[in-house]
Amino acid sequence: MTRAYKVDAKLCRGDGLCVAVCPKKVLEIADGKARAVERRVRHCLLCGQCMAVCIHDAIEVEGLSRADFPLLRRHTFTAEDFETFLAERRSVRTFKDQPVPRELLDRIARAASLAPMGFPPHTTSVLVLDRREDLDRLAADLRKGYGKLLEMVRNPFLRLIIRLKRGAETMHAMRTHVLRIVEEDNERFRERGEDGYLYGAPALLLFHANRWSVAYQESAMLVAAYAMLEAQALGLGTTVLSIVPPLINNMPGMREPYGLGQDDFVVVGLIVGYPQYKYHRSIERKLAAVRYLRP
């Protein structure tokens, strides 16, 4: 796509920072001023780094508005503070019976939008459910949908169909993990009336994206991760839910009530609420491996 770059010659000092920072080498310095390299313009990622690095506000890229480039305040916490904050995070599944104010949900969505978003056009969106009746209806649909799935996998023919339609990896995940969990969740509801899917949380964020946009799943996951950390910074607790998306995406009649188009796929859910309990200990887990290719 061709794109116009406006360089204000009065403001540009030709320091070349925009040239140096551009990941696609779209800019150059000519006669002491920045300008676009015509044949490279189509490679622009619209990342806006040229505008962010220019202290003189000399450059503007078509499709990006200067209003979307607020001046940065420098953070004041140390790496140790940040790691302490990360260590404090746990998946919260027991919540106070207290709604999450919408201004906090808005704030979470705003902070989440600071995540790296992959390649434009960005299609990651968030759908917020924060009314008890909507959350209860979804929990009931999850019980019903997964109940049906449990019945289907008992039938060898239907099991084969699922395997062919969804692939061997999905079938493996179902056999080793999902089926056991949903069986227990449905049983828990039957016996004790407890919601093992959404845990009675007062809010659920569903991160969805258009499946034709490049790396849409990775982008939506990162946005959800930022949302999770912002929620924690606001004194809220969260749990990432992968149990919700497959059902909304695949069960007939589930997508329409949520206003999802046929190419919109829910990537991940995040329940949010005020934690009932406080943890006094962290947990030290190890990645499966940390290796340097060369010692």
Among 61, 243, 248, 260, binds ligand FMN (CB under 6 A): 243
Determine which helix (DSSP H) or strand (DSSP E) holds 150, and give its type and residue range.
helix 132-154
Q: Which of 220, 228, 241, 248 binds ligand FMN (CB under 6 A)?
A: 241
Q: Does 36 bind ligand FMN (CB under 6 A)?
A: no
- Please choose, from the candidates 254, 1, 294, 6, the residue with its C-alpha nearest in 3D space to the C-alpha of residue 142: 254
For residue 58, give both structure tokens.
Answer: 């000399």
Stretch that binds ligand FMN, among 14-22, 45-53, 160-168, 239-247 (CB under 6 A): 239-247
Taking the least distance from each CB to ligand FMN, the nearer of 25 and 144 is 144
Q: Cβ distance 179 to 150 under 8 Å?
A: yes
- The distance of closest approach from Cβ of residue 129 to ligand FMN in the complex, given in angstroms and rounded to an integer, is 16
Q: Which is nearer to ligand FMN, 26 or 266 (CB)?
A: 266
Task: State which residue, 128 or 271, has the beta carbon closest to ligand FMN.
Answer: 271
Size of the site for ligand FMN (CB under 6 A): 7
* Identity of the residue, 48 or 200, whose beta carbon is nearer to ligand FMN in the bound complex: 200
Task: Report the 10 Å Cβ neighbour count for 290.
Answer: 6
Residue 236 touching ligand FMN (CB under 6 A) = no
Q: Given candidates 29, 37, 162, 240, which one binds ligand FMN under the rule CB under 6 A? A: 240
Cβ closest to ligand FMN, residue 52 vs residue 234 = 234
Q: Is 90 in the site for ligand FMN (CB under 6 A)?
A: yes
Question: Tokens 């929620």 — which residue?
Answer: 231
CA-wise closest residue to 17 among 47, 78, 58 = 58
Provide the minimum distance between the beta carbon of 172 and ligand FMN in the complex, in angstroms, as a whole number: 16
In 3D space, the residue among 89, 90, 128, 130 whose CA is nearest the CA of residue 109 turns out to be 128
**By CB under 6 A, is residue 242 in contact with ligand FMN?**
yes
Q: Which segments of 155-199 does DSSP mark as H helices, in order?
A: 156-166, 168-173, 179-192
Applying the rule CB under 6 A, the residues between 165 and 224 that interact with ligand FMN are: none
| Residue 173 three-state SS | helix
- Residue 118: left if φ>0, alpha if ψ -120 to 50, beta else—which one? left
The only residue of 84, 91, 98, 282 in contact with ligand FMN, by rule CB under 6 A: 91
Residue pair 224/270 in contact by the 8 Å Cβ criterion: yes
Cα 244 from Cα 163, distance rounded (Å): 20
Site for ligand FMN, rule CB under 6 A: 90-91, 239-243
